[in-house]
Structure 1
């Protein structure tokens, strides 16, 4: 595959969408954790030397936000140490790195969309581990591209949309947090943005990407119910009641405001943002046609 693109984290929802959206040229190879454990520097070197990619898209991550509070060392190993090892190995071989990060590097106290150069202030272990990963890859490869995103979902794996579909089919009433605001992001749109970045090697630094628009988790849940009923995925939509974050305590604190400023990304990729509701509809159609 010499000259192609290597995708890590191929078993996750973003990794699977990256493989699905991969262009015919340059060729792509997607490796999951069993094929490439990024915590193992020898394995990284072997993979890079075997495939000789021109670029690596790192979609591998520890994403269990609540569990990270109880096992921060595991989160750090996957989200901080491993990306640093990968970036150093790529830099040594002259391979470009595109690294995916998160809105959780911010504390959610802003009242307008976070710009890529906004000061990070993570609230919990997961966010701290991802911020440390950003620092590690920038140290090892100053011309790395870091792409932050948030509220990612797809028909693959576990995510908010699939959880809501299951609960809505089982229950007569749901309560959903209404005072956390962000932008739902279909993993396929994120994957396409990453492939666009991969085709523009001059673009480096930190960018933000999500779909367009703003929603609370409650807004998102209501939309999921409405769109799923229209598509015949649900026979009926249960009552959905808004509740404050305080009514739904979790081990990890979540940012109350996670809206990202995507203007630089959309400008430099010459693209228009697609509203999250439209992307949700497309994802649910994809789910209806293909399942998990």
Structure 2
């Protein structure tokens, strides 16, 4: 039997899809907690996988402002330890990062080689994680993504479905522009990259992978309501009028051209995720 691909983050949106893929062993928090980087590295050594995918992270953006140490431990120290363990075994390491490593200025899509400048603790912790992965010196791919959603779990889609069924009107931020990324497609992309790196270590690097087309949160919310047959109206609001503990980037557009060229995987159309929605709250 060939060695499996080992994935971290079984209980998360992306990790749940990875867990269902043949040849993937997915670990949850009970087996590898991000607060214990040494345990995460030990899990890699114990499974001796063909490749490793890290789909686990601290994703509570606002909560990170009050616990920068916890966010750094989960998003930087743990991925660094994983990447080092993978490098020592000589196997590829695929790591999911975020558009929040950028400051969100301008209106052109961010390229992988643009200079990061995170505006919040979460983004800074993810950038530190990227640098730790690179510093490990092994075969790796960092996939920066944006606005990950799924038809289940806690995310923007399920929140809009719940609120849309309860209310006649919602106000949603309209000046943050990016692309929703279906978790299932992101999981498939990570798997494809892991398999590719086994044979093509020269493809190591940092890439962008996000859905299409670009939209605003308000535009996305309207699409969700329409797909689910909900009569809830969505009114635009500015980010400045919806203060949060963590600053959000206004421009989360990502240039995914180098990813498609390297791995032959196109950006997923997030509208396909909405085709099966109904008015029933998940």
Where on the TM-score scale, by shorter chain, does this alignment land: which range? over 0.9
Equivalent of residue 266 in structure 1, options 240, 260, 280: 260
Structure 1 stretch 1-10 or stretch 150-159: which is displaced more? Answer: 1-10
- Shift in alpha-carbon separation, 1:38–1:68, aligned structure 2, 3 A: closer
Q: For residues 36 and 180 of structure 1, do their structure 2 counterparts lie closer, same or farther at Cα, with a shift above 3 Å needed?
A: same
Counterpart pick for 1:31 among 21, 27, 34: 27
Report if the CA contact (8 A) 2:181-2:268 is conserved.
no
Distance 1:41 1:125, change over 3 A: closer
Is 2:230 the partner of 1:247? no
CA distance in 2, matches of 1:117, 1:67: 29
- 1:233 aligned residue: none
In terms of mean alpha carbon deviation, does 146-155 or 33-42 score higher?
Answer: 33-42
| Residue deviations 1:85-110 (CA, integer Å, cap 9, x gap) | 11111112222111110000001103
Distance 1:218 1:243, change over 3 A: same
Q: Runs of 5+ in structure 2 lacking a partner?
A: none
Select the residue among 86, 98, 103 that pairs with 1:107.
Answer: 103
Mapped contact 2:119–2:247 kept (Cα < 8 A): yes
**Which residue in 2 is equivalent to 1:3?**
3
* Aligned partner of residue 279 in structure 1, secondary structure: helix
Distance of aligned partners of 1:40 and 1:274 in 2 relative to their CA distance in 1, 3 Å threshold? closer
Matches of residues 159-238 of structure 1 in structure 2 within 5 Å? 159-201=155-197, 202=200, 203-229=203-229, 236-238=230-232
- Choose the corresponding residue for 1:87, options 80, 83, 102: 83
TM-score norm. by structure 2 comes to: 0.93
- Give distance in 2, aligned partners of 1:172 and 1:44: 46
Matched residue pairs, number?
A: 278
1:56 aligns with 2:34: no
Contact in 2 for aligned 1:12/1:156 (Cα 8 Å): no
Q: Which residue of 2 aligns with 1:136?
A: 132
Q: Unmatched 5+ residue regions in structure 1?
A: 230-235
Moved over 4 A (4+): none
So what's the TM-score if we normalise by structure 1?
Answer: 0.90
CA 1:224–1:41 in structure 2 vs 1: closer, same or farther (change >3 Å)? closer
Deviation at 1:41, TM superposition (A): 4.3
**1:148 counterpart SS class:** strand
| SS of equivalent to 1:199 | helix
